[in-house]
């Protein structure tokens, strides 16, 4: 379905509105998604290497690929779920798989990152993909490959399986020894963030203005719960009115399934109303057409600092793909742990080593 522009016919939008409504109903008990990440380390870890496991586990990518390809066939939502999981992992204490630790397995009363309010709606498919891949890798290369690297490779696989770019993943991360729910809230972007707030957070991770816009493009597929955008529909920033920027036809379509109060908490809507299951660059065209789902997404097409980047990526899918691959490599280096002093190699990704 083409990206809606101001010159699109009303019948085209009627089709889009209907498809949004159907998606909201069809997936009200099954689907979600969003974007994410971790630490104050701003320089890429130079010890990460594409060939890190060349001798110790040369088949690691094929082993992981056997799982991701099967998961994608069985449950396509595994793609956005795993990419979101990777974002949320990297933005809190670095890319160290601390997001996967179970509070029950911590051996103390401290809640793990996974149980922080901002992580409560992370889909189980993302965790399941890593668990299955870890089991296969451990059967062939016991004690060698970290959960952090498995998550990074899985995220790349799912981007590619959904139609996005294939890129090399640098490896050599160790798993983090600390997982604290209390560190999550201040490190995860919120759905109503302004561009200033987004820039401050991304800058603290060593990421640039362009990285912000490019990584936000992960919202080219996946879904978000009503709670993440319902204020835009009824009471935008305390105005008692809807967000004046949102396309009125999209507003009506979303209001059908997301009431102001008392709605079904499981209902979700697609980030990308045109191609919600495909990794492409339609997200940026949607922002130009005022079809952004989250306030933080739509803001990127309005701010003079980010608007030119949105426009450029909307016109050129290959430019977006190249930029996204580079930004994922950069984000994947945030706070990477190396060695036993700072990390561990877990056998069970949900449990710290004793």
Catalytic center residues = 88
Establish whether 211 is an annotated binding residue.
no
Establish whether 342 is an annotated binding residue.
no
Residues 121, 32: Cα–Cα separation, whole Å: 8
Establish whether 189 is an annotated binding residue.
yes
Establish whether 98 is an annotated binding residue.
yes
Find where tokens 């809640």 sit. 111
Residues 345, 340: Cα–Cα separation, whole Å: 8
The secondary structure of residue 176, as a DSSP letter, is E
Residues 157, 72: Cα–Cα separation, whole Å: 10
- Kindly provide the residue ranges of all beta strands, DSSP E only, lying in 123-279, ordered along the sequence: 175-176, 223-225, 268-270
Residues 224, 298: Cα–Cα separation, whole Å: 14
Establish whether 220 is an annotated binding residue.
yes
Return the C-alpha torsion angle 268, 127, 88, 121, nearest 10.
30
Establish whether 272 is an annotated binding residue.
yes
Closest alpha carbon to 48 in 96, 100, 101, 113: 96
DSSP character string of 307-346: HHHHHHHHH-HHHHHHHHHHHHHHHTTTT-B-STTTEE--
Residues 185, 193: Cα–Cα separation, whole Å: 13
Establish whether 96 is an annotated binding residue.
yes
Establish whether 149 is an annotated binding residue.
no
Closest alpha carbon to 285 in 315, 325, 309: 315
Closest alpha carbon to 101 in 154, 180, 36: 180
Establish whether 238 is an annotated binding residue.
no
Establish whether 280 is an annotated binding residue.
yes
- Residues flagged as binding site for Ca(2+): 89, 92, 94, 96, 98, 113, 220, 272, 275, 280
Numbered residues of the known binding site? 89, 92, 94, 96, 98, 113, 189, 219-220, 272, 275, 280
Q: Which positions make up the binding site for substrate? A: 189
User: Binding site for heme b: which residues?
Assistant: 219
């Amino acid at each position: 379905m083409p990206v809606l522009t101001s010159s699109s016919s009303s019948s085209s939008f009627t089709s889009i509105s209907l498809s949004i409504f159907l998606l909201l109903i069809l997936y009200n008990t099954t689907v979600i998604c969003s974007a994410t990440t971790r630490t104050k380390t701003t320089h890429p870890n130079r010890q990460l290497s594409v060939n890190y496991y060349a001798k110790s586990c040369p088949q690691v990518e094929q082993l992981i690929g056997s799982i991701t390809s099967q998961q994608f066939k069985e449950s396509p939502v595994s793609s956005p779920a795993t990419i979101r999981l990777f974002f949320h992992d990297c933005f809190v204490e670095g890319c160290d798989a601390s997001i996967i630790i179970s509070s029950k397995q911590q051996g103390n009363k401290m809640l793990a990152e996974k149980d922080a309010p901002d992580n409560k709606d992370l889909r189980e498919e993302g965790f399941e993909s890593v668990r299955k891949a870890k089991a296969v890798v451990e059967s062939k290369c016991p004690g060698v490959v970290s959960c952090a690297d498995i998550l990074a490779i899985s995220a790349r696989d799912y981007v590619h399986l959904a139609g996005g770019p294939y890129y090399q993943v640098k490896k050599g991360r160790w798993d983090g020894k600390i997982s604290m729910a209390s560190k999550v809230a201040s490190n995860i972007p919120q759905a109503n963030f302004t561009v200033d707030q987004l820039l401050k957070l991304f800058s603290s991770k060593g990421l640039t203005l362009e990285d912000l816009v490019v990584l936000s493009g992960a919202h080219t597929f996946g879904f978000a719960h009503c709670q993440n955008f319902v204020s835009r529909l009824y009471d935008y920033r305390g105005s008692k009115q809807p967000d004046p920027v949102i396309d009125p036809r999209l507003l009506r379509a979303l209001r059908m399934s997301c009431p102001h109060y008392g709605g079904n908490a499981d209902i979700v809507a697609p980030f990308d109303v045109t191609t919600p299951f495909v990794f492409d660059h339609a997200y940026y065209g949607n922002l130009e057409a005022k079809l952004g789902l989250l306030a933080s997404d739509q803001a990127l097409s309005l701010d003079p600092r980010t608007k030119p980047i949105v426009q450029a990526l909307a016109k050129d899918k290959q430019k977006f793909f190249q930029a996204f691959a580079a930004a994922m490599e950069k984000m994947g280096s945030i706070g990477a742990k190396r060695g036993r002093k700072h990390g561990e190699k877990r056998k069970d990704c949900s449990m710290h080593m004793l």
